[in-house]
Amino acid sequence: MPDNKQRRVLLTGGNTGIGYFTALELVKQGDHVTLACRNLDKANAAAQKIAAEAPEGTVDTAHLDLADLGSVRDFAESAPDAVDVLINNAGVMMPAKRTETKDGFELQFGTNHLGHFALTGHLLPKLRAAGNATVVTVSSVAHKQAPKLNFDDLQATRGYQPQRMYANSKLANLLFALELQRRLDKAGIPITSNAAHPGISETALYTSPDGLGSSKIASIGASIGLKFISQSAKAGALPTLYALESGGPASYSGPKSLFESRGAPGPAKISAKAQDAALADQLWIASEKLTGVVYDFG
């Protein structure tokens, strides 16, 4: 990565896991990174650690709850007038029971996709103001396991299945990233949108009480299994950094070894569903209606 970028970077969920190590590396390169997190105490503690280890750049924090569209709007309004990089990193994974966001969306779809959809839309004028900005959205290898989105029941009000909804939300992340690039290109706006996935990495997603950690049995099982198949969160951050620096428009990056579960970053495989432009357009229209956020490409 080149030194002394000095970009304004907004990163969601950077207080732990791959987000933390993504932020650390960017600050080491001289960027200014804002950790946008729901828990400000944890964010501030992470920022202090980053600042002590990486004096080359700067870091601060801001409150952002992606499960609350009002919080998303308030954060976007408080952001700098020009944003060079937006990294849609935060997420929740597989709560045992169906849970809703403040706005009544299923928690995984509402947080992982709709929250980031609304955030990016609110920030679009500030991304445009920076000139040649980049938006990286973090998806997952789980996107390949997603069934075709059920637009009659996007919020899983009937027959909630944790793994299915997580996979759906990660498919939505990838559909969104690619569709955003199509719409930016059509409007002639010089912003890069791409996506990345961390492979199988040891992160707090597996123990968070808002997700998999809501089931003690599942959380313990995942923790044991991860010791054998996962890579570190620091390694899991590399595809996001690769996507930002080398991925290019509409690209998808991830680990290259062991079926994209670990290893050095590079181009990753996109499922046929994620490449479906008609499906992406349908999701975009539905997302605008659900969030009330309409992108201004004019």
At which residue do the structure tokens 């951050």 appear?
Answer: 237
At which residue do the structure tokens 């989105």 appear?
Answer: 149
Write phi, then psi, for 42 (nearest 5 degrees): -65, -35
Task: Report helix, strand or coil for 254.
Answer: strand
Catalytic one of 20, 160, 166, 295: 166
Partners of 136 in the β-ladder: 87, 194
The C-alpha atoms of residue 221 and residue 6 are separated, in whole angstroms, by 42
The C-alpha atoms of residue 68 and residue 105 are separated, in whole angstroms, by 10
Read off the amino acid at residue 69.
L
Look up residue 146 and give its two tokens: 């997603």
Q: Is 166 a catalytic residue?
A: yes
C-alpha 221: how far from chain center: 25
**Active-site residue numbers?**
166
